[in-house]
């Protein structure tokens, strides 16, 4: 009895897991089945068309026979009874029979085509509902993050908020000089902000050799980034919205899933697009602007999820 109970439990779990997997991949399954069905219905319709001539020729022959009977009836000395009403009934019956044959011939292909289109539309509907749910969840997370940042600003100020947001940390450096005897003397100690190497912003990307737009000349890279930032802002002003993936495309960087729903919206948020080139607080960032470094870590001031606001 215990063995049967365990077996039943395993079967129930397997069926439940199988149903979950089927539900998870139902859009892909419906889309694949719909595409296959559309192609199959087209092939079936083409094959059915080969038999249309037979039905049409048969209908033409029957129509000629009906017309011949009507003529014989009119010229017959025995006055064969075949009235105009009988003629009209036979013609109507011929049309009905021919139509039924055509429906029977094309019915399977048309039915399969309708079911296939319905499967494709169902797949689109499922993906649309999932996207709405995903955006709602993303908005909830974004609202929580923005609320956290507001509390940081209230408690610690905007400078600390920016440090936490960009992954910066304070580092004390000492400048040295040499006296007449060649001995090092301490000049000053100062604090600079550097990037935490273990930190990675959600939207930050390195503009370096991985980009097809990157060049070995640091000045060209700086001018290119300035031009693309200006173009992105012009696009925002003219069109009203810009997705982060579009900016990635401008810079020759790979797209991301988040980049398809987050971006900038006119008259919303900062109302401008900033690559954080001139506001970079790290030493590598300053070196890039000054022409000492050919690469830079860009962090984009996205307004958040804009997909559902357009």
Instruction: Specify if 128 maps to a domain.
Output: yes
Instruction: Specify if 295 maps to a domain.
Output: yes
- Asked whether residue 291 falls in the same domain as residue 216, the answer is yes
Which range marks the domain in which residue 37 is found? 21-135
Last residue of a domain, one of 118, 135, 152: 135
Confidence of residue 197 (pLDDT cuts 50, 70, 90): low
Confidence of residue 168 (pLDDT cuts 50, 70, 90): low
Average pLDDT, the chain: 80
Rounded to an integer, what distance in angstroms lies between the CA atom of residue 264 and that of residue 149? 19
Nearest to 233 by CA among 250, 219, 220: 250
Last residue of a domain, one of 113, 135, 157: 135
pTM: 0.53
Does 152 have pLDDT greater than 60?
A: yes
Confidence of residue 128 (pLDDT cuts 50, 70, 90): confident
Instruction: Specify if 175 maps to a domain.
Output: no
Instruction: Specify if 150 maps to a domain.
Output: no
- Asked whether residue 117 falls in the same domain as residue 220, the answer is no
Q: Which residues lie closer than 8 Å to 252 by C-beta, 6 or more apart? A: 211, 212, 213, 214
Instruction: Specify if 63 maps to a domain.
Output: yes
Instruction: Specify if 159 maps to a domain.
Output: no
- Asked whether residue 216 falls in the same domain as residue 300, the answer is yes
- Asked whether residue 25 falls in the same domain as residue 131, the answer is yes
Confidence of residue 112 (pLDDT cuts 50, 70, 90): very high
Does 125 have pLDDT greater than 60?
A: yes
Does 72 have pLDDT greater than 90?
A: no
Last residue of a domain, one of 135, 169, 194: 135
Tally of structural domains, the chain: 2
């Amino acid at each position: 009895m215990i063995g049967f109970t365990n077996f039943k439990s395993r079967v129930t779990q397997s069926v439940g897991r199988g149903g979950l997997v089927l539900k998870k991949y139902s859009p892909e399954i419906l889309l694949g089945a719909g595409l296959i069905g559309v192609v199959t219905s087209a092939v079936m319709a083409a094959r059915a068309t080969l038999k249309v001539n037979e039905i049409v020729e048969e209908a033409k022959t029957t129509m000629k026979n009906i017309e011949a009977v009507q003529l014989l009836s009119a010229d017959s000395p025995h006055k064969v009874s075949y009235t105009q009403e009988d003629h009209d009934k036979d013609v109507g019956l011929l049309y009905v029979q021919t139509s039924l044959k055509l429906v029977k011939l094309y019915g399977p292909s048309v039915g399969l085509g309708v079911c296939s289109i319905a499967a494709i539309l169902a797949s689109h509907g499922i993906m649309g509902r999932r996207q709405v749910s995903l955006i709602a969840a993303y908005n909830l997370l974004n609202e929580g993050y923005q609320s956290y940042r507001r509390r940081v600003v209230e408690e610690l100020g905007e400078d600390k908020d920016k440090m936490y947001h960009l992954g910066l940390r304070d580092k004390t450096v000492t400048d040295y000089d040499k006296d007449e005897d060649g001995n090092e003397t301490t000049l000053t100690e100062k604090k600079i902000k550097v990037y935490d190497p273990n930190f990675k912003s959600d939207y930050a990307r390195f503009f370096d050799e991985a980009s097809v737009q990157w060049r070995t000349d640091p000045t060209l890279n700086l001018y290119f980034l300035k031009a693309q930032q200006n173009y992105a802002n012009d696009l925002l002003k003219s069109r009203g919205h810009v997705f982060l993936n579009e900016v990635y495309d401008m810079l020759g960087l790979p797209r991301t899933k988040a980049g398809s729903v987050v971006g900038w919206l006119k008259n919303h948020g900062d109302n401008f697009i900033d690559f954080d080139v001139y506001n970079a607080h790290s030493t590598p960032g300053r070196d890039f602007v000054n022409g000492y470094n050919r690469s830079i870590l860009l962090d984009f001031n996205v307004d958040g999820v804009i997909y559902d606001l357009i």
